[in-house]
Amino acid sequence: MKILVTGGAGFIGSNFIHYWLKNNPADNIVNLDALTYAGNLENLKVLADQANYKFIKGDICDVSAVKQAVKNIDLIVHFAAESHVDRSIMRSADFVRTNVTGTMVLLDAARENNIRFHHISTDEVFGSLGRTDPAFNESTPYDPRSPYSASKAASDHLVRAYWHTHKLPVTISNCSNNYGPYQFPEKVIPLFITNLLEDKKIPLYGEGDNIRDWIHVDDHNRGVETIIRKGRIGETYLLGGDGEISNLELAKMILGIMGKSEDMIERVADRPGHDLRYAMDYTKARTELGWEPKVTFEDGIKETIDWYRENREWWQRIKSGEYKKYYDKQYK
């Protein structure tokens, strides 16, 4: 099988490529990525010379680039997205362009070439839960609260529309917050870890009461493969991690594992419109597909901390901006 992975130089996409080729070495992967601020080919440098892996620098909004990328492709796995909520509050247009228009361009290319399409989405499209509300499931109405989640909700609706209107073979997965290796350091878990490795304080929004369900990126990518292999066409599946924890509890857990005191917490002004809680009910994925998360949150956090300890050069180059200058020169 030949797979086009969009956004494959990003955090989840690069982990997916590693996962897929490790478990499906006879397959071929084409990685289409624009190498914006969060795209980093260092995530995939060990694959650079493999015959079954190819990188194309390109924008999913560029019709001609996408048409070239989909030649002889059997499956598109669509990770590419602007994903940082704070950035969406500052610059919503970038999120609408990439997440909505880019998805439409890919869907059109898939339709023209009759390519199976799997769309990666998020729990944030469902809005915010109260502390005692039942977890999101596949029937939960959409209620996005940020420009980021609104743009992802729109892309989900487009994917479903192409299934209903054009019978394009699609599946969708909505996942919890991912964590693990290669995550861009502005995200909360790698931000906390790398700050502490530099003996800097960790910024905590408000009182830290906001609750997230965390899924290890390996569990997520195993879930995506399971949906691709076994999922019903036209269906959506939620992937959760059994990792519900408040941001304050998360901070204290990381501090404890890293041997730091709670004096390293720095309270900062809360994010506008900050959703209180996300939680995922993955019963459908478990009962229909036999999937469930395997990595406990505590084990996964310890492994993630170890990875950032052992890969200082990787995240230090990102924080300094050196890697971006290099790839801008190489792939301009």
Catalytic residues: 123-124, 148
State the CB neighbour count (10 A cutoff) for residue 314: 17
- Among 211, 197, 194, 201, CA closest to 278: 211
Q: Is 332 exposed, middle or buried (0-12, 13-18, 19+ CB in 10 A)?
A: exposed
Strands (E), 90-229: 116-122, 170-175, 177-179, 202-205, 211-216
State the CB neighbour count (10 A cutoff) for residue 49: 7
Q: With contact defined as beta carbons under 8 Å apart, do 32 and 69 qualify?
A: yes
Adjacency order of strands within the sheet including 244-246? 177-179, 211-216, 244-246
- Among 293, 299, 303, 181, CA closest to 241: 293
Give 239-265 as a DSSP string. Answer: E--S-EEEHHHHHHHHHHHTT--GGGE
- Please give the helix or strand (H or E) that residue 158 lies within, else none: helix 147-166
- Please give the helix or strand (H or E) that residue 148 lies within, else none: helix 147-166
Q: With contact defined as beta carbons under 8 Å apart, do 34 and 62 qualify?
A: no
Q: With contact defined as beta carbons under 8 Å apart, do 284 and 222 qualify?
A: no
Alpha-carbon gap, residue 311 to 32, rounded angstroms: 25
DSSP state of 169: -
